[in-house]
Amino acid sequence: MRASICLASVLTACGHASIGPVATPLRGPFASVDAACAAVTDAHGSRCAPLEMERTSAAASRLAVVHIRQPDRDAARCAVVLATDRGWFITATSADACSAGSIDPGDVATNPLVGAAGTQIDIGAAWHSPDFADEARYTLTTLCGVVDGVPACTPIFTSACEDRAPAGACRDRGYALRWTIADGAITFTSSRDLAAGADVRALLGAHRLGF
């Protein structure tokens, strides 16, 4: 059974239009990736270090993925830093971990969006048990475009995962999200019904994309 979903972090209720767009302008500009990292460090007392650099995308001339490790958390979260001719801009930090002692970061991939001028940015991750007897992969994703010369991105969300992955609703069972974009609106669908007992940040409905 397929279920329609939208990103709950910016929504008021299931099946209702969001107050604002799913994608919002990023913080910046900064002179460099290090400066963007310093802004996050100053705000949260975190350590921030580049994971992967210098990828081009339709949303920016260059991008970097950075690890942000907060003092009260063992696992590092991710953020994406995008460059335009105005400088570097940084996304909000992912809710799910992208690296830790038992979570290995994977490749970063970019693909053009279908239905809007923008880029899909995927960050792969692989979880394993301490003895490597069990493992599961998952993908963190953000969708980015440009508004008035400033990059705008969705929150970083878990777009696909295998059973037991420590992200999104994956602990119960794996899923894959799909989305369609048309006339400035985005609609998400899930490969599985995520309503029953799942800790998800995605709810029914179609919503304004924002770029």
pLDDT, mean over the chain: 77
Choice between 18 and 51, residue whose per-residue pLDDT is larger = 51
The tokens 């301490």 sit on which residue? 130
pLDDT at 44: 59
Q: Which two tokens stand for residue 74?
A: 């063992």
Q: Which amino acid is at 101?
A: G
Give the per-residue pLDDT at 198. Answer: 43
Q: Is the pLDDT of residue 172 over 90?
A: no
More confident residue, 4 or 190: 190
* 205 compared with 108, residue with greater pLDDT: 108
Whether the per-residue pLDDT at 35 is higher than 90: the answer is no
What is the model's pLDDT at position 201?
Answer: 47
Instruction: Please say if the pLDDT value at position 60 is more than 80.
Output: no
Q: Angle at the Cα of 69 (from 131 to 163), degrees rounded to 5?
A: 40
Instruction: State the pTM of this model.
Output: 0.82
Query: Which residues neighbour 183 within 8 Å (Cβ) at sequence distance 6 or greater?
Result: none
For the stretch 91-110, pLDDT in tens is 998 888 888 878 887 788 88
How many structural domains are present in the chain? 1
Q: Would you state the pLDDT for residue 25? A: 93
- The answer to whether residue 34 scores a pLDDT higher than 70 is yes
* CB contact set of 43 (below 8 Å; sequence gap of 6+): none
Residues 99-155: tens digit of each pLDDT: 887 888 778 888 999 999 999 999 999 998 888 888 999 999 999 999 888 899 998
Range of the domain at 92: 3-208
d(CA 32, CA 35): 5
3-state secondary structure the chain: CCEEEEEHHHCCCCCCCCCCCCCEECEEEECCHHHHHHHHHHHHCCEEEEEEEEEEECCEEEEEEEEEECCCCCCEEEEEEEEECCEEEECCCCCCCCEECCEEEEEEEEEECCCCCCEEEEEEEEEECCCCCCEEEEEEEEEEEEECCEEEECCCEEEEECCCCCCCCCCCCCEEEEEEEECCEEEEEECCCCCCCCCCCEECCEEECCC
pLDDT at 173: 78
pLDDT band at 20 (very low <50, low <70, confident <90, very high): low
